[in-house]
Structure 1
Amino acid sequence: MPSEGAEVQVRPGFEGDLGALTDLYNHYVSETAVTFDTRVFTPQERLPWLLSHPVDGPHRLMVATDTDSQRILGYATSSPLRPKPAYATSVETTVYVAPGAGRRGIGTLLYRSLFEALAGEDVHRAYAGIAQPNEASARLHRRFGFRHVGTYREVGRKFGRYWDVAWYEKELQGPAGQPN
């Protein structure tokens, strides 16, 4: 957990972050229904994911660290929504905050940095799927201008039960500050 008054830095992720990012994600895999992955990963298994988020372009990885300890406090990504070419101007966004680092504005800092980085990219819409219930995530997305567009009922099964996923959408601005 960051020390009281510690500053947070948000920067693009890089390969040296892989171990800590994998540990953070694995917490959500094994302890929550936030992600529908059902088994933990090794850093080597997560390497293609990390490399699919370069420093530029529409698919980004932003990492928040404690400036004193350099401990990773969370990350946000924009990833392809679907693999077919016509979806290229749409991204799926997500944010994960490290256990013990919540309620400090880390998610807000990450999303602010992610959307600032995407401002000059040819991205028309951002989408986010939120496993239900998760009011904190819904609040964060609404704060950034996402609106609820629908819910997939009982779409995922994890921990012996079915989970709904609420889908949110956000219009993004293109390179000239105009909607794409």
Structure 2
Amino acid sequence: MKIRVATPQDAEAIAAIYAPIVTDTTISFELEPPSVEEMRGRIVSTLERLPWLVGEDDTGAVKGYVYAGRHRERPAYQWSVDVTAYVRADARGQGVGKRLYERLFDELMRLGYCQAFAGIALPNAASVALHECVGFKPLGIYRNVGFKMSAWRDVGWWQRELHTPVEPATPRAFRASDFT
């Protein structure tokens, strides 16, 4: 699988992976799938500061994607990120998410980030297994935090230490041209 930086041209494939997760599951707390244009805007906005990566199959089709987002707004949180991974339905269980996360973590460490957090709508055994496989540890659960598909839903939170320098420098902005 080839892993590369997402581009605005990937928005259609990414939206297609994400749409059934929004409409058919409680995994995402969005109620309506974002349009291709909205997804394109999310990719562009994320890449201004943080990585968004895609994995391609042998035909060049997007198999899955991962990205990082700000964890919180306050300045003392600047070394922490929230991360997200989604894999195309026919590519699940093949290590796609694991390989994408490993590359994302390498990039986040290179940029100077120290902690990664993941929120997982529960139940979701596959996502829990993926996150724990790549080093996340459970933190706790927000109970009844979201209402979707006629019921209150919980979100579990996991944390993965990337690295912890004694005196951290301000994280650098992601630049697609630096990604190899």
Q: Please, which runs of 5 or more residues in structure 1 have no aligned partner?
A: 1-7
The alignment status of 1:80 with 2:73, answered yes or no, reads no
Contact 2:144-2:153 within 8 A present in 1 as well: yes
Aligned twin of 1:25:
18
Which of 133, 137, 162 is 2:123 aligned to? Answer: 133
Alpha-carbon deviation of 1:48?
2.4
Q: Which residue of structure 2 aligns with residue 36 of structure 1?
A: 29
Which of the residues 50, 56, 70 maps onto 1:65? 56
Deviation at 1:46, TM superposition (A): 2.0
Structure number with greater CO (CA < 8 Å, separation at least 6) is 2
Which whole-Å CA distance do the structure 1 matches of 2:83 and 2:149 have between them? 24
Which is richer in helix?
A: 2
The question of 1:91 aligning with 2:81 is answered yes
Q: Distance in 1 between matches of 2:153 and 2:35?
A: 26
Asked whether the 8 Å contact 2:114–2:161 carries over to 1, the reply is yes
Q: What is the aligned-residue identity percentage?
A: 32
TM-score (norm 2): 0.86
1:9 to 2, 17, 22: 2
Return 161-170 or 136-145, whichever deviates more.
136-145
Q: 1:146 aligns with which of 123, 136, 139?
A: 136
> How large is the RMSD of aligned CA atoms in angstroms?
1.6
Runs of 4+ in 1 over 3 A off after TM superposition: none
After TM superposition, give the deviation of residue 85 of structure 1 in Å. 2.7
* Count of paired positions: 167
Cα deviation per residue 1:26-60 (whole Å; 9 max; x = unaligned)?
Answer: 121111111100012211122221012328x5x21
Residue 114 of structure 2 is matched in structure 1 by 124
User: Displacement of 1:157 after TM fit?
Assistant: 0.7
